[in-house]
């Protein structure tokens, strides 16, 4: 007797239900995708060719592999597009037996309204959701991509936004987790972050203080705070960049936002407090024009550390 894995069967049913729901939501099951005479596969072919790099045009076999469709089926679609004057075949300079594919001017003209319509339909769907719901949807979609092996999208934009409900908890949690894992700081560091963040919210002077939250693919990947120290001095605090977003220049961008805001708010100087072992952060501060003014050994967060004070004249 075959033993049925009930949990697996439930998950199979969930995936199939989601697939039915989502294909109905985006109109895949209609007569033509995006109110056009084209099928989903035909539009996908046009999309891939429209976004192909001129330096790396795809062959028919490469395009079939990318789309996961039968080469014979793709050949029939391409034949129709060539007859309409939408697709051009050119012999490969590297291999004369292979033809490279590209859209003609007429092909781009035919695809353009489909691209706009797709963009507008997704915009209309998202505008019905709150900002928090949009972020949750984007994060869930990225999680699905990641689990199923989709390549990481390096060019996805990083958006900086203002503080929203729930962000303070994230800031405290991620500082605690990352600094424990990377620098072996104990929970007293997380407690310090919680105190700083709570004080920012409770005493916020919106004209002179600000927090920036960085999002990529709907997920929070960084944060920084600028707080008032005195009438002429601002303090940069709680700069954090997630490991997944490092190497993108995000840390420098967050610091630059603080500097620009501090100048516009009328401050004459910025200061910050950091530790000598936080080398990546120190490099960001130095490139932004900050200079170290003091260093002092101390015992905090379960570690022997050297605290540093940095300043920037505005």
Determine if the pTM surpasses 0.85. Answer: no
Q: What pLDDT is stored for residue 123 in this prediction?
A: 83
Structural domains in the chain (count):
2
Q: Is the pLDDT of residue 7 over 60?
A: yes
Higher pLDDT, 97 or 117: 117
pLDDT (tens digit, 9 = 90+) per residue, 16-68? 787 777 766 665 544 455 566 777 788 888 888 888 887 778 888 888 888 88
Same domain, 91 and 216: no
pLDDT (tens digit, 9 = 90+) per residue, 292-302? 999 999 999 99
Asked whether residue 1 is domain-assigned, the answer is: no
Asked whether residue 145 is domain-assigned, the answer is: yes
pLDDT (tens digit, 9 = 90+) per residue, 185-230? 999 999 999 999 999 999 999 999 999 999 987 789 999 999 999 9
Higher pLDDT, 132 or 192: 192
Same domain, 148 and 167: no
Q: Domain holding 191: CATH number? A: 3.40.630.30
Same domain, 31 and 144: yes
Q: Is the pLDDT of residue 2 over 90?
A: no
The fraction of the chain above a pLDDT of 70, given in percent, is 91
Same domain, 148 and 180: no
| Residue-number span of the structural domain to which 296 is assigned | 160-313
Q: What pLDDT is stored for residue 4 in this prediction?
A: 64
The fraction of the chain above a pLDDT of 90, given in percent, is 49
Please spell the DSSP secondary structure of the chain, one letter per residue.
Answer: -PPP-HHHHHHHHHHHHHHHHHHHHTTTTSSSGGGSS--HHHHHHHHHHHTS-TTSPPBHHHHHHHHT--HHHHHHHHHHHHHTT-EEEEE-SS-TT-EEEEE-HHHHHHHHHHHHHHHHHHHHHHHTS-HHHHHHHHHHHHHHHHHTTPPP-TTPPEEEE---TTHHHHHHHHHHHHHHHHH---HHHHHHHHHHHHHHHHT--TTT-EEEEEEETTEEEEEEEEEESSSSEEEEEEEEE-GGGTTSSHHHHHHHHHHHHHHHTT-SEEEEEEETT-HHHHHHHHHTT-EEEEEEEEEETTEEEEEEEEEEE-
Last residue of a domain, one of 109, 132, 154: 154
């Amino acid at each position: 007797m075959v033993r049925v894995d009930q949990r697996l069967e439930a998950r199979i049913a969930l995936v199939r239900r989601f697939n039915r729901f989502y294909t109905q939501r985006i109109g895949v099951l209609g007569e033509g995708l995006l109110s056009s005479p084209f099928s989903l596969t035909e539009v996908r072919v046009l999309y891939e060719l429209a976004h192909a790099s001129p330096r790396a045009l795809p062959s028919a076999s490469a395009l079939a592999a990318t789309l996961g469709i039968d080469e014979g089926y793709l050949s029939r679609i391409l034949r129709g597009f060539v007859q309409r004057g939408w697709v051009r075949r050119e012999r490969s300079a590297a291999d004369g037996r292979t033809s490279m594919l590209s859209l003609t001017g007429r092909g781009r003209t035919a695809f353009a309204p489909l691209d706009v319509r797709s963009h507008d339909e997704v915009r209309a769907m998202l505008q019905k959701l709150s900002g928090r719901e949009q972020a949750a949807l984007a994060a869930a979609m990225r999680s699905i991509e990641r689990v199923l092996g989709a390549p990481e999208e390096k060019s996805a934009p990083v958006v900086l936004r203002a503080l929203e409900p729930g962000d303070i908890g994230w800031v405290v949690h991620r500082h605690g987790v990352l600094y424990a894992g990377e620098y072996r700081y104990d929970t007293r560091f997380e407690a310090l972050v919680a105190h700083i963040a709570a004080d920012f919210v409770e005493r916020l002077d919106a004209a002179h203080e600000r927090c920036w939250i960085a999002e990529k693919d709907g997920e929070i990947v960084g944060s920084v705070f600028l707080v008032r120290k005195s009438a002429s001095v601002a303090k940069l605090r709680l700069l954090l960049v997630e490991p997944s977003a490092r190497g993108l220049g995000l840390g420098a961008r967050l610091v630059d936002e603080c500097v620009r805001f501090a100048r516009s708010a009328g401050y004459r100087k910025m200061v910050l407090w950091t530790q000598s072992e936080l080398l990546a952060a120190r490099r960001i501060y130095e490139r932004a024009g900050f200079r170290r003014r003091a260093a002092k050994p101390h015992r905090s967060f379960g570690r022997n550390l050297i605290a540093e004070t940095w300043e920037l004249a505005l």
